[in-house]
Structure 1
Amino acid sequence: MTTSPIDLRSDTVTLPTERMHEAMASAPLGDDSRDGDPTVKRLEALGVERTGKEAGLFLPSGTMANLVALLAHTGRGVEVLVSAGSHISRTEMGGVAGLASLFHRELPAPRGAIDLEALRESLSPGLAHNRLATGLVAIETSHNDAGGTVPSLEHMGAVQKLARERGVPVHIDGARLFNAAHALGVPASRVASFGDSVGFCVSKGLSAPIGSLLCGPAAFIDRARAFRRMVGGNLRQAGVVAAAGIVALEEMIERLAEDHRRAKELARGLAALDQSFSDPRDVETNIVNVDLSRHARPSPEWALALKERGILVGPTKPKRIRLLTHRHIGDGDVERALSAFREVHARFAGGTPAHAAS
């Protein structure tokens, strides 16, 4: 009997629940780009309720939610300030420049939290001394590249205060907003309160098959709706997927705690194997970055060796692997993954090729 692989590459691999399938099959539908789809409207209202904002907009993806937010907040040719390693600057195919005609500047961001002094020095309310005007500041939480870290409430408040003093809006890229809120022990609306707008996914750990919500002031969402059409994001009977998003927000948020616990267990097991791999204290949500910098083999070789043992991982840098827990990962899967890491660690320490049989 073949054992199914354990997929730790991302929480985007999650599949819809049975309740989601049922909701999708029975959802009331309409043309969302004309009179509105009733199920989409219900999801948008639920997103507004969860974030404490005035209005919401359903979009196909988090990348499009960020792009539309940039367009709705700014004018062309201004600067967007983002954290180093942010999803907006590193993982969205340059849409900030290629589609929105904006410049972006990465600011130092230890553990994903923008350095406040760098932010203070970079904020520019208007064209002066050959400097671009700052059109937007973007906070990412949880911070993907930093390993699922979550800026503190105090830090986000300080970012918001600095931006407001210069008349600059703040957008929160909260693709994993509910993971961040759980890590902080607060409602998602508390995290969202530090941004003029917030975007979050109903896929990933929440397990809906598709979709993100962008929430903010009504006038902002009106502009965002127009930009959604411009970039091809209008959908017709979108309730067929929005229905799963409703189930995600009603039933899947509380269980994120299990993903966080298992990520901690992974980190502890890896640290017990090799202290250089991971510091469990750095794991705040469902992402574990495995540091391979003290090992000779590059991350793709580790990924191949682990794959041969039924463990799928993401080599995100030459000497780094990323692991994400999600609802398809159980306690036994964590132990199986750690066992595979122990095998590969022992083989590589002994100089055995990556493709050697286990």
Structure 2
Amino acid sequence: MKIDLRSDTVTKPTKKMLDSMMYTQVGDDVYKEDPTVNALEERLAKMFGKPKALFFPSGTMANQTAIKLHTQPGDQVICDKDAHIYNYEGGGASFNSGVSCKLINGSRGMFTAEQVIEAINPPDFYHSPLTSLVEIENTTNRGGGACWDFEELKKIRTVCNTHNLGFHLDGARIWNALVAKNETAKDYGKVFDTISVCLSKGLGCPIGSVLIGDEAIMENAIRIRKILGGGMRQVGYLAAAGIYALDNNIERLAEDHKKAKEIETVLSKLFFVKKVEPVETNIVIFELQDQLNDSNFLKTLENNNIRISSMGQGKLRIVTHLDYTNDMHNHFLIFLKNMRL
């Protein structure tokens, strides 16, 4: 039995999802003539209460497009020090948009409206970059799948309004947050100018993200996507997977959350585990006791056909997902309980 808990991106399409992909209608999406892509974009725009949505091959490209739409070269983006756009998008913010990031020292990837106010550069002080965008990630990857307090997000929205700043949501795992917090997509649509949502993580699609936003800000999104090389042709085969996932794979995320919580419970009782971050969704981040070597621990797991991720700085990550079965889960819990280091 092979158990891969490195990420929820390792999932593969189910037979039913593949069937929906094989028998869909397609067209040339560069001409905006793919009916399945158009249907997916319209559905997600409506779901979040926004007028526009655009399909992208990756979440990174969707986020990078959003940054470019909100900023001019030389501007500055406020985000958390653990933000995906800063740590895991290849320096794209500086390369693609010519902007810098003002990093907030938040808690588990989250910060407050007061911290945003403190991070805004005075607009008339031309020695510092012009602050033009606030970006947040929900759930937070490096924060262990933590969910933002929606009331705090509304306060940050007020700050953005006051200072004429854009507000972008990296919603790579927004579906997990919606399920865990019993919130709605329209709630988020009212707060953010742009939202990127990922289909290839918890929802189990082979590829795809969608950028959703207000009419004015999204006007040039398709042009930026083209510049970044994201124009695709008969991409409806992939969009069909997204439609299937929206129909079938959102509510079941609660199962992934339950399994992650059970893993947290077991890890917290093991003598070789120093700390486990509180689990809210499908990510478990933990640290070993100081005298133990992370590489040796990962090797021991590998030798037993179990794979998890190292996030650096002593943090290890487990991510539950659609392909992590009940049998795998029971086997993994028993293995952890009997593990000797």
TM-score of the aligned structures, taking structure 2 as reference length: 0.96
User: Which residue of 2 is the match for residue 140 of structure 1?
Assistant: 137
Could you tell me how far 1:136 is from its partner in structure 2? 0.5
Residue 321 in structure 1 maps to residue 292 in structure 2: no
Q: 2:220 aligns with which of 213, 218, 223?
A: 223
Q: From the superposition, tell whether residues 36 and 278 of structure 1 become closer, same or farther in structure 2 (CA, over 3 Å).
A: farther
Q: Is the 8 A contact 2:30 2:231 kept in 1?
A: yes
User: Which residue of 2 is the match for residue 188 of structure 1?
Assistant: 185
Q: Distance in 1 between matches of 2:124 and 2:23?
A: 53
Q: 1:19 aligns with which of 6, 16, 33?
A: 16
- Structure 1: which amino acid aligns with 2:255? E
Q: Is the 8 A contact 1:138 1:172 kept in 2?
A: yes
Give unmatched runs, 5+ long, in structure 2: none
The two structures, once aligned, show a CA RMSD in angstroms of: 1.6
Q: 2:306 aligns with which of 311, 320, 326?
A: 311
Equivalent residue of 2:74, what SS?
coil
Equivalent residue of 1:186, what SS?
coil
Residue 332 in structure 1 maps to residue 314 in structure 2: no
Could you tell me how far 1:343 is from its partner in structure 2? 4.2
Could you tell me how far 1:67 is from its partner in structure 2? 0.2
How many percent of aligned residue pairs carry the same amino acid? Answer: 35
Q: 2:66 aligns with which of 66, 69, 80?
A: 69
Residue 284 in structure 1 maps to residue 274 in structure 2: no
Instruction: String of CA shifts for 1:23-74, please: whole Å, max 9, x gaps.
Output: 1111111111114211100010111122121110000000000000011111
Q: Distance in 1 between matches of 2:102 and 2:110?
A: 15
Q: 1:296 aligns with which of 291, 314, 326?
A: 291
Q: Distance in 2 between matches of 1:7 and 1:268?
A: 20
Q: Distance in 2 between matches of 1:215 and 1:329?
A: 30
Q: Is the 8 A contact 1:181 1:191 kept in 2?
A: no
Could you tell me how far 1:16 is from its partner in structure 2? 0.8
Q: Distance in 2 between matches of 1:317 and 1:307?
A: 18
> In terms of mean alpha carbon deviation, does 22-31 or 183-192 score higher?
183-192
Q: Distance in 2 between matches of 1:23 and 1:132?
A: 48
Q: Is the 8 A contact 1:124 1:132 kept in 2?
A: yes
Give unmatched runs, 5+ long, in structure 1: 349-358
Could you tell me how far 1:278 is from its partner in structure 2? 4.5
Q: How many residues align?
A: 341
- Structure 1: which amino acid aligns with 2:317? R
Could you tell me how far 1:273 is from its partner in structure 2? 1.9
Q: From the superposition, tell whether residues 125 and 217 of structure 1 become closer, same or farther in structure 2 (CA, over 3 Å).
A: farther
Q: Is the 8 A contact 2:5 2:319 kept in 1?
A: yes
Q: Is the 8 A contact 2:276 2:284 kept in 1?
A: no
Residue 211 in structure 1 maps to residue 203 in structure 2: no
